[in-house]
Structure 1
Amino acid sequence: MNSAVTGGDDPAPPPPGGVLWSLAGDVRGLLMLPAALALQVAHPAVGAGVDEHSVFRTDPWGRGERSLRSLQLWVYGGEAAAEEGRRLRKLHRTVRGTDTRDRRYHALAPENYAWVHATGFPVYRHAARYLIRPMTAEQERALYREWLQVGRILGLHDRDMPQTTEEFWPYYRRMLAEEIEATAVLRELVAVDATVPPPDRGPAAVRLLLRSVWPVLLPPSARFRAFLTVGLMPPDAREAIGLPWSPVQERRLRRLCAVIRLVVPVLPERLRYLPLARSARDAWRSGRAGAYRGLRRKPGGSARSV
């Protein structure tokens, strides 16, 4: 394994055709992201960093768009993936301060940076059960291997992350027991009365229309976001943070996800996959040399897609 991320060859993105290629670009992945973000900011240091240094309150739509594009580059960016990882590390070099437990933090400290990345694995695994289908043990191991590869792109060393799923779960449970809490940022993310400015992207006429109807649209959209954020978070994380979740809510979530599981697979690919993912998949399938140089899938190297 590559334990160094500076100097030498750049770490490669996850393999085309792997589990992440099926998950990360699927439009259903958009529904999983709020739960992952909430679990990230439940860490006191991460929550403090976002609280003090992020523009998520003043520019939530722009931040969301940039974060989504960054995630897509990690998986589908080919040779641009490592460059995006370097950009993110540079961006976070000055993010430091004191967390809610009066501890000094730095965004790139391995214990903080690793947690931000680690949350994707349990959330993808859990949410896929609802929105796609449960993963096999082989798929879970493949997903974790590929997620580790993304970690290398982001600048994590192998020593910073558990290297197998068997090692991951004790680490994860320890973090839930010792670190995770309902931070101020997390409470904002799951608030049903959140104050969010209207979208500022798209044609001027659409922005004007949204601004005019936003007071009506915001309350139900905030409730729906909170519902998905809490519902698609792994139950043990939900319990550790102290987020309430009722049997009635669980039944509603299961009914909603059953409809999504039926509808999304029959959509044309241009609607089912996000643009960058769709372009990467097209390039890989057409065999265009240079699009994913050096990323040919090795026999037996990846489990089948979920």
Structure 2
Amino acid sequence: MTASGALESAGERPLPSRRPIEPGTRMWDETGLITFSLTAGSAFLLQTMEPTISAVVDEYSTFRTDPMGRAMRSLASVMMWIYGGDEALAEADRLRQLHATLRTTGTDGVRHSALSSGPWAWVLHTGTFAFTESAKYFARRPLTAEDKEAYFQETLQLMGNFSVAPKEIPANYLEFEKFFADTVANHLIATDTARDYLRVIRSVAPPKQLPRALRPVWRVAVAPIGRLQHFVTVGTTPDIARQKLGLTWTPSDERKLRLLGRMIARIVPLLPERLRYFPIAYEARRLERDRQRLRKVIDMRPI
């Protein structure tokens, strides 16, 4: 069954009305963890293998010329989706408005639009995949089928906030797995954009504002991080996609990644919350606790 066929058979469902992601959800508790960046690489790689996204990214993205700036802006944006409160909806609207003008024509003459319903949904679908892959390697316990379904249901809120077309959304997580595997196998292609992305993350160029005299220091300091990000990105990318890109992944590599994952799974929970979470996520979580304390005091006030 093709990806589109899988979605058609599932039927369309109404999405939740637009509202911020709520505290207490799995998405709220885990998206902001620093381990998010490890599997975000495979999500973006899978995006750049989608023909329309690749064509648009190739023409408009600054990931080649300003990789650090682009990565920091993207990370901050994702944190806003989850932890921005009412501003999360404004961020989704900003991104839709920004992408509405991004159109290009490929070398084969095919026209591409960033807001085409399939590619627009694929961006968020790769996030669902990255979440489950992150848990597979970097969580203290594996996700159960119930965990995956519960998380998938949470993603419907995010898809509603981004005005994803209901026809692009599988009925449940089991259908999502089938749809995702079919898309990777039968729709994604090896693109120069994807190959360039792998090259860029392996050797991250210094920020433009960094003085020239400090750039050699940057390259030495960041080289291990780039190698780690490249290694994890390749390792958490589906094997079929790796084969399309001509990437090698050996049983030894898999063992190393799983060992790395076990180490990270033990270390990260021991870190102070300020270090476990990215800044926007940390501040949002702290603010929510303050609100809860205020609510408790208000409820206990003498009347």
The structure-2 alpha-carbon separation of the partners of 1:208 and 1:128, relative to structure 1 and needing over 3 Å to count, comes to farther
Q: Counterpart in 2 of 1:22? A: 29
SS of equivalent to 1:134? coil
Are the equivalent residues in 2 in contact too, given 1:231–1:245 (CA < 8 A)?
Answer: yes
Say whether 1:277 aligns with 2:281. Answer: yes
* 1:34-63 CA distance string (max 9 Å, x none): 111111111111111111111111111111
The structure-2 alpha-carbon separation of the partners of 1:283 and 1:184, relative to structure 1 and needing over 3 Å to count, comes to same
Of residues 192-201 and 26-35 in structure 1, the stretch that sits farther from structure 2 once superposed is 192-201
Unaligned runs of 5+ in 2: 1-12, 296-303
Deviation at 1:263, TM superposition (A): 0.9
Q: Counterpart in 1 of 2:178? A: 170
Are the equivalent residues in 2 in contact too, given 1:199–1:210 (CA < 8 A)?
Answer: no
Are the equivalent residues in 2 in contact too, given 1:41–1:185 (CA < 8 A)?
Answer: yes
Q: Counterpart in 1 of 2:188? A: 180
TM-score by length of 1: 0.83
CA distance in 1, matches of 2:243, 2:24: 35
Are the equivalent residues in 2 in contact too, given 1:72–1:276 (CA < 8 A)?
Answer: yes
- Residue 88 (structure 1) aligned to one of 86, 95, 100: 95
The RMSD of aligned alpha carbons is: 2.6
Deviation at 1:102, TM superposition (A): 4.0
SS of equivalent to 2:100? coil
Unaligned runs of 5+ in 1: 5-9, 292-306
Are the equivalent residues in 2 in contact too, given 1:95–1:107 (CA < 8 A)?
Answer: yes
- Residue 291 (structure 2) aligned to one of 287, 293, 297: 287
Of residues 276-285 and 64-73 in structure 1, the stretch that sits farther from structure 2 once superposed is 276-285
- Residue 156 (structure 2) aligned to one of 136, 148, 151: 148
Q: Counterpart in 1 of 2:8? A: none
Higher helix share: 2
Say whether 1:54 aligns with 2:61. Answer: yes
- Residue 117 (structure 1) aligned to one of 120, 124, 127: 124
- 1:135-284 equivalences under 5 Å are 135-191=143-199, 196-200=204-208, 210-217=214-221, 219-239=223-243, 241-284=245-288
Deviation at 1:198, TM superposition (A): 0.8
Are the equivalent residues in 1 in contact too, given 2:15–2:157 (CA < 8 A)?
Answer: no
The structure-2 alpha-carbon separation of the partners of 1:13 and 1:137, relative to structure 1 and needing over 3 Å to count, comes to farther
The structure-2 alpha-carbon separation of the partners of 1:79 and 1:254, relative to structure 1 and needing over 3 Å to count, comes to same
SS of equivalent to 1:190? helix
CA distance in 2, matches of 1:39, 1:281: 30
Are the equivalent residues in 1 in contact too, given 2:68–2:204 (CA < 8 A)?
Answer: no
Q: Counterpart in 1 of 2:300? A: none
* 1:2-40 CA distance string (max 9 Å, x none): 549xxxxx6113321111112210111111111111111
TM-score by length of 2: 0.84
Aligned-residue identity in percent: 39
SS of equivalent to 1:287? helix
Q: Counterpart in 2 of 1:296? A: none
- 1:28-67 equivalences under 5 Å are 28-67=35-74
Letter in 2 for 1:144: F
CA distance in 2, matches of 1:140, 1:254: 20
CA distance in 2, matches of 1:193, 1:27: 17
Deviation at 1:238, TM superposition (A): 3.3
Letter in 2 for 1:268: P
Q: How many residue pairs get matched? A: 282
